Amino acid sequence: MCFGGLLTSYAPGLNVLLLGRLVYGLGIGLAMHGAPLYIAETCPSQIRGTLISLKELFIVLGILVGFLVGSIQIDAVGGWRYMYGFGVPIALLMGLGMWSLPPSPRWLLLRAAQGKGSFQEYKEKAISALSKLRGRPPGDKVSEKQIEESLVSLKSAYKEDEPEGSFLEVFQGPSLKAFVIGGGLVLFQQITGQPSVLYYAGPILQSAGFSAAADATRVSVVIGLFKLAMTWIAVVKVDDLGRRPLLIGGVSGIALSLFLLSAYYKFLGGFPLVAVAALLLYVGCYQISFGPISWLMVSEIFPLRTRGRGISLAVLTNFGSNAIVTFAFSPLKEFLGAENLFLLFGAIALLSLVFVVVIVPETKGLSLEEIESKILK
């Protein structure tokens, strides 16, 4: 991400700009895979939802900073370079901070259970890593007891010298059930119009009466602030209320907001505040539901054996559907008209609500091992 940001911000031409964006995108993809996986495997189940939702909060904070920089530099020649360059020191700081993180204790135990090396050595490393993560003295008795409990479930799931589950195995048995849940959530997260509503907030606002690009950009900053506030609500309440209530309430609001946008373009064009209210409703409901909860469910729903592969495929599903919706938005808008396009997104949102109610389980308070044994069997 650091190198990609530098390339993009100093790009002398289009080809270098595209290369920088490609490198930056690869870094984002790896981080989107690794961050929720590491958090899920290292944190206590009681606060797993809060910590993974915090990841989404910081993503939103980064988007808000981008809006602010863009708003300040909108009239400057080449002002967009500052927006990309601002992320370079942050990416560097993130990279340096990761050097201090210990390995995932579950990953170390997985290596031990599979006979990848000295069992006792991996076990001791796992105890030391867990002690560091919990702020306890190295090798304390509480960490040792937790490691022993985790080993019992791992040994029942793995045979010595058996390789980690393949990508093909993700589409079999309990892993397939997990992929339907996790992959379905990140798919609906995108095809309900999230890239279009957010990426095209400026044009939507301009068509709603904010004629100047600067006006629309500044309203985008307000939307970013609201997005941050609503994400904080999800962070605070996800381990209290649970995953399903936030998803059901949020997705219902997303559907309503999309129907309001459709109504605005059909017969409420004289009321630009309707479009602004619909955008705020969409953003708020998205940030208490699909935004943080999808990645939380993806990080915790897959069995230990296929967790890495499953999250990789979920990330691919997310970015692939994001790209499709982003590139298809303008042609579809021209073909269907804005009113019918948002009506289509609203219908998909209703379908996603049915998916959540019927398919998505509640995982609040369950350990990763309990999720595998109680939900996926």
Query: Of the candidates 139, 157, 175, which is a domain's last residue?
Result: 157
- Residue 35 in tokens: 């961050």
- For residues 340 and 212, is the Cβ–Cβ distance under 8 A? no
Angle, nearest 10°, between helix axes 173-191 and 338-359?
Answer: 150
Whether residue 115 sits in one domain with residue 130:
yes
Asked whether residue 247 falls in the same domain as residue 112, the answer is no
Domain match, 338 and 256 both = yes
Total count of domains within the chain: 2
* Helix, strand, coil content of the chain in percent (nearest 5): 80, 0, 20
| Same domain, residue pair 182 and 136 | no
Residues 80 and 147 in one domain: no
Choose one of 115, 139, 157: the last residue of a domain.
157
Q: How many CB atoms lie within 10 A of CB 166?
A: 12
153 and 230 belong to one structural domain: no
Quick one: 12 and 130 in the same domain? no
CA distance 361 to 218: 39
Q: How many residues does the chain have?
A: 377
- Which ranges of the chain have pLDDT less than 70? 70-71, 73-79, 112-119, 138-165, 198-220
Q: What is the CATH number of the domain that holds 44?
A: 1.20.1250.20
User: Do 118 and 187 have their domain in common?
Assistant: no
The whole-number pLDDT of residue 161 equals 45
Indicate the pTM of the whole model. 0.79
- The predicted pLDDT at position 359 comes to 94
**At which of 132, 157, 182 does a domain end?**
157
- The pLDDT, as a whole number, for residue 142 is 63
Q: How confident is the model at residue 68, as a pLDDT?
A: 76
The predicted pLDDT at position 218 comes to: 66
Same domain, 126 and 256: no
Contact at 8 Å (CB) between 345 and 196? yes
Specify the pLDDT at position 160.
Answer: 46
**One domain, residues 135 and 200:** no
Is 151 in the same domain as 197?
no
Report DSSP letters for 275-329, one per residue.
HHHHHHHHHHHHHTTHHHHHHHHHHHHS-GGGHHHHHHHHHHHHHHHHHHHHHHH
Domain limits for position 213: 2-100+166-374
Residue 214 has what pLDDT? 56
Same domain, yes or no, for 186 and 252? Answer: yes
